[in-house]
Amino acid sequence: MSPLLAIDGLSVHAGGQALVSDVSFSVAPGERLGLIGESGSGKSLTALAAIGLLADGLSASGSVLLDGRQVVGARDRDLVALRGTTAAVIFQEPLTALDPLMKIGRQVAEPVRRRARRDGRPADEKSVMREVMDLLDQVALPQPDRIAKSWPHEISGGQRQRAAIAMALACRPKLLIADEPTTALDVTTQAEILKLLGQLVRERNMALLFISHDLPVVASAADRVVVLRHGRIVEQGPVAKVFREPAHDYTQSLVAAARSFDDALEIAP
Amino acid sequence: MTDTRLIATSPEGRTRRSLTFTIGAVVVGLHLVIGLLTLFWAPYDPTAMSGGRLEAPSFAHLAGTDRLGRDLFTLIMIGSRIALIVGTGAVIIGAALGVTIGLLAAFASKTLDDVLAAGLDILIAFPTLLLAMLIVASSDGASLWTAVVAIGIANSAIVARLTRILAKRVLRMDYITAARISGTSWIRVVTIHILPNIWPTLLVNLALQFGLAVIAEASLSYLGLGAPPPNASWGRLLQEAQGTVYTAPFGAIAPGIALVSLVIGINLLADGLRDIGDPTRRRRR
């Protein structure tokens, strides 16, 4: 099967400086890929370049094939349709991921309506609201009808993140990009969101590009992992193999750091 | 548990109105009613002598008479109408031009944005009044509408700069990126996300612009560049009362009170409107 996302020799430059250089990897349909590295290693930039959403002043070179179509150098107008049917993103900060002046229900309804129109399905108020309720239910939000009528500031951080996931699901993406989706949440909520993401990805056969600096989180969320450092790939392979026998010094130090932290927790009374 | 309680109180919060809003609405409403009333009725003919010269306030002449013996209260009532027309017109022109230019700059490429921002800064550095005087002077003579257009254009620079900054801040939010990724068009992003989010701040600023426009019109009239007679303007009343301010101070005080009350009323009204329009503020009261 041809990959859903094929990145080949991708570089991102800001002025004369290379922020990401010569990155190549691919994501197959339904595959869960973890993108790991310290902050500033180019994880998020790589993901944004993959869907052609680089900020002004940044330029990408190389090749990015998203669902078989070239993203690098494509015009924004052509990318809008491609993104809408192919990819969706969940962000780190659930507070800024939702419009503070729009009720949750209306907010989730936006992508539902857009997707329904694009697919030629009925987009009347009743069927849209039914799907919104269904989505809020799927992301395990309690009392969906009540949540739908709330403002973002009236629900908790975990609930906001679930609402953001519902919005991403409404796009019916083939590729879900999760950019540190659990970093801003407490540990319990983090575990719940990870479980929910894993379950949704499996049920809907979506591919997942999971970006994180947190080794244990990536280990549980991904099948394969790509390790980035200073904008370059230092190592990639199946999660179990990379974490058990890290080949590169940097990966070894990452794994060792995570392990000594775990050990310290176990020794503590 | 907390969540359900908060959600349950939100619908009531919407109908609750703040005290500032009420006071502002009453003051502005009064000016509006009086201004409209002058279209059909006034206590005296504003152009005719209705009493002695420079009379002190009495029941017959609530604000006294001016040096031509005209009833000042009648003139101030008509002044309300002129002030409201100028304020509304200038704010509509300022908002339409300013928001358009501001959004354009926020979305533009870096070079165009820099050019627009520099242009706006130069316009703002120019005193509003001077700019308005230039525009009035370059048109064929002063009229109510040249004053409105001149003040509106001067206002638009400030509105544009504010819109640009506010829109840029919203554009950096993740929900905009998420909307773009899911294929939302820019026009829709502007109408459903950007405008509602910048509106509360913009509204307060527009109210400020309204007040400034009323003052600017009074200043233009004071200088003889505003609406020509028979339009009564508070600024011209102030100018006419200048010579007799020691012998008949009420001629200057009365239009002054009218001017200040309208400007403060508009600002209170806008503060109240912002609180009502913003769901995160709404709940706290």
Domain ranges of chain A: 5-267
Supply the pLDDT for residue B10. Answer: 43
Supply the pLDDT for residue B17. Answer: 60
Q: Would you say A179 and A89 are in contact if contact means Cβ atoms under 8 Å apart? A: yes
Please, which residues 66-125 of chain A have a Cβ atom closer than 8 Å to chain B?
A: 80-81, 83-85, 87-89, 91, 93, 96-102, 110-111, 114-115, 118
Q: Do A150 and B279 touch (CB under 8 A)?
A: no
Cβ contacts of residue B111 below 8 Å, gap of 6+? none
Higher pLDDT, A188 or B59: A188
With contacts defined as CB-CB under 8 Å, which chain B residues touch A85?
183
Domains of chain B: 18-43+61-282 (1.10.3720.10)
Closest residue in B to A103 (Cα–Cα): B279
Q: Do B183 and A80 touch (CB under 8 A)?
A: yes
The pLDDT tens digits for B99-144 are: 999 999 998 888 888 998 898 888 888 887 787 788 878 877 667 8
Q: Would you say A185 and A157 are in contact if contact means Cβ atoms under 8 Å apart? A: yes
If pLDDT is split at 50, 70 and 90, which confidence band does B282 have?
low
Closest residue in B to A86 (Cα–Cα): B182
DSSP string, chain A: ---SEEEEEEEEEETTEEEEEEEEEEE-TT-EEEEE--TTSSHHHHHHHHTT-PPTTEEEEEEEEETTEE-TT--HHHHHHHHHHHEEEE-S-TTTTS-TTS-HHHHHHHHHHHHHHHHT----HHHHHHHHHHHHHHTT-SSHHHHHTS-GGGS-HHHHHHHHHHHHHHT--SEEEEESTTTTS-HHHHHHHHHHHHHHHHHHT-EEEEEES-HHHHHHH-SEEEEEETTEEEEEEEHHHHHHS--SHHHHHHHHHHHHHHHHHHH--
Mean pLDDT of all residues belonging to chain B: 82
The reply to whether B196 touches chain A by the CB within 8 Å rule is yes
Mean pLDDT of all residues belonging to chain A: 86
Burial of B45-67, coded b for 16+ CB within 10 Å and e otherwise, reads ebeeebbeebbeeeeebebbbbe
Q: Would you say A242 and A235 are in contact if contact means Cβ atoms under 8 Å apart? A: yes
Residue A120 has pLDDT above 50, yes or no: yes
Q: Would you say B131 and B150 are in contact if contact means Cβ atoms under 8 Å apart? A: yes
Higher pLDDT, B49 or B189: B189
Indicate the residue type of A43: K
Indicate the residue type of A41: S
Q: Do A154 and B6 touch (CB under 8 A)?
A: yes
Q: Do B10 and A150 touch (CB under 8 A)?
A: yes
User: Among B175, B191, B193, B278, which would you mutate to test the A interface (most chain A Cβ atoms within 10 Å of its Cβ)?
Assistant: B175
Pairwise CA distance, residues A126 & B102, whole Å: 37
Q: How far is A241 from chain B (nearest CA, A)?
A: 33
Least CB-CB distance to A101: which of B3, B182, B197?
B197
Pairwise CA distance, residues A255 & A237, whole Å: 15
If pLDDT is split at 50, 70 and 90, which confidence band does B13 have?
very low
Q: Is B110 helix (H, G, I), strand (E, B) or coil?
A: helix
How many residues in total does chain A contain? 269
- List the strands of the sheet with A69-70, edge to edge: A17-27, A5-14, A58-66, A69-70
Q: Do B10 and A154 touch (CB under 8 A)?
A: yes
Residue B93 has pLDDT above 70, yes or no: yes
The pLDDT tens digits for A72-105 are: 888 877 888 788 788 888 888 877 889 988 999 9
Q: How far is B212 from chain A (nearest CA, A)?
A: 29
Higher pLDDT, A218 or B69: A218
Supply the pLDDT for residue A268. Answer: 59
Cβ contacts of residue A27 below 8 Å, gap of 6+? A3, A4, A5, A33, A175, A207, A209
Supply the pLDDT for residue A269. Answer: 52
Supply the pLDDT for residue A163. Answer: 92
Residue A37 has pLDDT above 90, yes or no: no
With contacts defined as CB-CB under 8 Å, which chain A residues touch B195?
none
Least CB-CB distance to A149: which of B7, B178, B197?
B7
Supply the pLDDT for residue B1. Answer: 39
Higher pLDDT, A31 or B231: A31
Higher pLDDT, B267 or B42: B267
Mean pLDDT, residues A108-114: 89
Q: Would you say B81 and B90 are in contact if contact means Cβ atoms under 8 Å apart? A: no
The pLDDT tens digits for B141-174 are: 667 888 888 889 888 999 999 999 999 999 888 8
Q: Establish whether the linkage from the previous residue to B230 is cis, with ω within 30° of 0.
A: yes
Indicate the residue type of B17: R
* pLDDT-above-70 percentage for chain A: 98
Supply the pLDDT for residue B98. Answer: 94
Q: Would you say B158 and B152 are in contact if contact means Cβ atoms under 8 Å apart? A: no
Lowest mean pLDDT: which of A128-142, B135-149, B197-211?
Answer: B135-149
Mean pLDDT, residues B225-238: 80
Classify domain A5-267 at the CATH class level: alpha beta
Mean pLDDT, residues A199-215: 88
Supply the pLDDT for residue B5. Answer: 41
Mean pLDDT, residues B180-201: 86
